[in-house]
Chain A
Amino acid sequence: MTPEMKGFLLLSVLKMLFVFTVVMIGVAMLTLMERKVSAWMQNRLGPNRVGWAGLLQPAADGVKNILKEETYPAQANKWLFLLAPAMSFIPALLLSAVIPFAAPLPVDFDFTLGPLGRFVHHGLMPMVVADVPVGFLFVLAISSMGVYGIALAGWSSNSKYALLGGLRASAQMISYEVAMGLSLIPVLLMSGDVSFGAIIRSQQAGLWYVLPLFLSFFIFLVSGFAETNRLPFDLPEAESELIAGYHTEYSAMKFSFFFIAEYANVVTVCAMVTTLFFGGWDIPGRWDEQGGVLQTLATGGFFFLKLMFWIFFVMWIRWTLPRFRYDQLMTLGWKVLMPLALVYIMVICTAIYLIQHVAGITDPRLSALILFGVNIVLGILVFGLLDSGLFIKGAASRRPQTFEVPG
């Protein structure tokens, strides 16, 4: 093994440890954050007994879950029942490996470490565990694996509530994967590459994609909510009708694994929104493009801020909107978001062709601004139609029922 390869391996291991630790601690703290945010929105106090302001609550929950009794339902398929939490947990954690979280850091070292030999690294180190060339396709592929955990949990529990939850989850996740994949095609058209690094560079040169590709962002965000099974789309675990859906029969740490997976998925979706539509670690302006340790720290901090905003947004939505009905969910996925994404791809294709080949504008910022103008018009049209109840009919649009009062 060459010294360069050893240096690369050493850095990779360090990055893995860092990202894994941050994600695991972050997920634990998110459970506390969710409870605090919900308490704040409902004018309560939330957990405040364990540790200062309830900061040790996640640790207490963890200890409780480890000490609880592991139960197995009668007649359950034991191996699949055990496999299910792992199948939802592993893909969720795997995804954090491909999201770049800061500007590349210049690392130079050349040292010898006893029997391990010489370690060498020169040049920029990308601040991502695995800089895969397939970029966001990797995220789409691995996140689509998450449905196995839920479907298996539902099937192997041998319980009707769990089975219904598992069926709902798989139908919902397949449906919204389509819209999610289609909503990312405009991003590909703008950047010309699927890798996260290229997408961030392209956003630095032009504008953050949320402006020129606003509808894509909207479709992606809505599908992201559905993919992570969060309210308003948490039908797989709808507690008022299915008890707890697919994890009804799970107890102790196996139950907790589903929760860790859910929060890790929320982190991934928020990181994807940040990276694809809000410039990733990019800070607006030019001063952050000088390189160096300071740049890495500042961009990392800024990425964290954006990520936290979107995580807060997810919680905000959860405690604001009521749950969709199942037919409304399917109508939204197949009859609204998917056609919308298809039409949007055509509009963006035409607009990019007109801007680059007919008008001959090559400046990325100017063409992004023109696309932003197109999006304002489209946005007014789309949201005007969506809001008028044409596609999704709520209870208000149905004929009011009248009752005869006898006597």
Chain B
Amino acid sequence: MTAVVFWVFAAAAVLGATLCVLNRNPVASAMWLMSTMFSLAAIFFLLGAELIGILQILVYVGAIMVVFLFVIMLLNLTRATTDLRGSGSIGATVVIIGLLLIELLTLWRYTPARLAADLAQAPTLSDPATVFAAGELSRHETAVRGVVGGLAGPLFQVYLVPFEITSVLLLTALVGAVVLAKRRL
């Protein structure tokens, strides 16, 4: 049953992503990207990660894609003309797609069992295996500490430093964007 639902949403995600790239109309592209995000959120739900799934919808579908749509509407883009002209850019495209394909093929060999074995052998900052051991512990955490607590615990206790560094990175990007966009500060 779960597998059927997974394949439905996985197919929808891939279809949405493909149509997003192939569509000439930027608004339609944005809508297909949104449907991809939605399917990904559904897959998170299937994994028992309700909070991440709902944050996927809240952040990507509800905020980021709306800003995309807003910009597209504001610039009034009607039909995208392709920038892919000439042998140089086509060559670059082929190289990028090839790299992505190799990445995918490598990931294909990564079974859950191998992932767990790798994580168990390499103790890092704090052993991730304690957090991700086949999803059992995260499920247990959710049952004990609620949906938010199960995620907030690792994020704000175990991985606090990486989390703060990421937020500083995002803040830097934000300030940089404002500095670049404003001619006179």
Is A152 in contact with B27, judged by CB distance below 8 angstroms? yes
Look across to chain B and name the residue whose beta carbon is closest to the beta carbon of A181. Answer: B58
State how many angstroms separate the Cβ of A247 from the closest Cβ of chain B. 16
Contacts of A173 in B (CB 8 A): 66
B54 at the interface (CB under 8 A from A): yes
Within 8 A of B (CB), among A158-188: 163, 166-167, 170-171, 173-174, 177, 188
Bound form: Cα–Cα A138–B61 in Å: 13
- Least CB distance from B60 to A in Å reads 10
Decide: B147 and A133 in contact? CB cutoff 8 A. yes
Instruction: Say yes or no for B19: interface residue by CB 8 A criterion.
Output: no
Contact B54 A193 (CB under 8 A): no
Interface residues of B in 156-170 (CB under 8 A from A): none
Could you tell me if B70 and A194 are in contact, using CB atoms closer than 8 angstroms?
no
Contact with A along B53-86 (1 / 0, CB 8 A): 1110110011100110110111010000000000
- The reply to whether A170 and B70 form a contact with Cβ atoms under 8 Å apart is yes
Q: Is A154 an interface residue (CB 8 A)?
A: yes
- Tell whether A51 is near chain B: CB-to-CB under 8 Å: no
Q: Are A174 and B51 in contact (CB under 8 A)?
A: no
- Which of A80, A137, A140 has the largest number of chain B CB atoms within 10 A? A137
Q: How distant is A302 from chain B, measured CB to nearest CB, in Å?
A: 27
Alpha-carbon distance A382/B54, docked complex (angstroms): 33
- A132-B50, A152-B27, A193-B146 known; A144 and B66 CB under 8 Å? yes
Partner of B57, one of A142, A154, A166, A167: A142
Which residues of A128-146 have CB atoms within 8 Å of chain B's CB atoms? 132-134, 137-138, 140-142, 144-145
Q: Which of B50, B58, B67, B147 has the most CB of A within 10 A?
A: B58
Q: Which of B54, B58, B63, B73 contacts A151 (CB 8 A)?
A: B73
Which residues in window 133-162 of B have CB below 8 A to A?
142, 146-148
Considering the complex, which residues of chain B in the window 1-37 have a beta carbon less than 8 Å from any beta carbon of chain A? Answer: 25, 27-28, 31, 34
Minimal Cβ-Cβ distance residue in A for B62: A144
Once the chains bind, are A144 and B63 in contact (CB under 8 Å)?
yes
Complex CA gap A255/B77 in Å reads: 26
| A379 interface hit (Cβ, 8 Å) | no
Q: A194 and B147: CB pair below 8 A? A: yes
> Are B27 and A156 in contact (CB-based, < 8 A)?
yes
Residues on A with C-beta less than 8 A from B25 are 77
- Which chain A residue shows the least CB distance to B147? A133
B89-111 contacts to A (CB < 8 Å): none
Q: Are A138 and B54 in touch, CB under 8 angstroms?
A: yes
When the two chains form their complex, are residues A174 and B50 in contact, meaning their CB atoms are under 8 A apart?
Answer: no
Query: Shortest beta-carbon distance, B79 to chain A, in Å?
Result: 11
Residues in B whose Cβ lies below 8 Å from that of A138: 54
Q: A132-B50, A134-B51, A137-B54 are in contact. Are A144 and B61 (CB under 8 A)?
A: yes
Cβ of A147 within 8 Å of any chain B Cβ, yes or no, is yes
- Residues from chain A with a CB closer than 8 A to the CB of B61 are 141, 144-145
A192 at the interface (CB under 8 A from B): yes
Q: Which B residues lie within 8 Å of A257 (CB)?
A: none
State in angstroms the CA–CA spacing of A166 and B69 once bound together.
Answer: 11
From A141, A163, A177, A198, contact of B73 by CB (8 A): A163
Q: State whether the Cβ of A148 lies closer than 8 Å to any Cβ in chain B.
A: yes
Within the complex, what minimum Cβ distance (angstroms) separates B131 from chain A? Answer: 19
CA distance A140 to B51 in the complex (A): 13
Question: Once the chains are docked, how many angstroms separate the CA of A174 from the CA of B54?
Answer: 17
Task: Give the nearest-CB partner of B146 in chain A.
Answer: A193
List 7 A-B pairs, minimum CB-CB distance, nearest first: A144-B62, A141-B57, A141-B58, A134-B54, A133-B147, A137-B54, A193-B146
What are 21 A-B residue pairs whose CB atoms fall within 8 Å in the complex? A77-B25, A132-B50, A133-B147, A134-B53, A134-B54, A140-B58, A141-B54, A144-B58, A147-B66, A148-B34, A151-B69, A151-B70, A151-B73, A163-B76, A166-B73, A167-B74, A174-B66, A174-B67, A174-B70, A192-B146, A198-B146
Beyond A144-B62, A148-B66, A193-B148, list 13 extra A-B contacts (CB 8 Å).
A80-B31, A132-B50, A133-B50, A133-B147, A134-B147, A137-B58, A141-B61, A144-B58, A167-B73, A167-B74, A173-B66, A195-B146, A195-B147
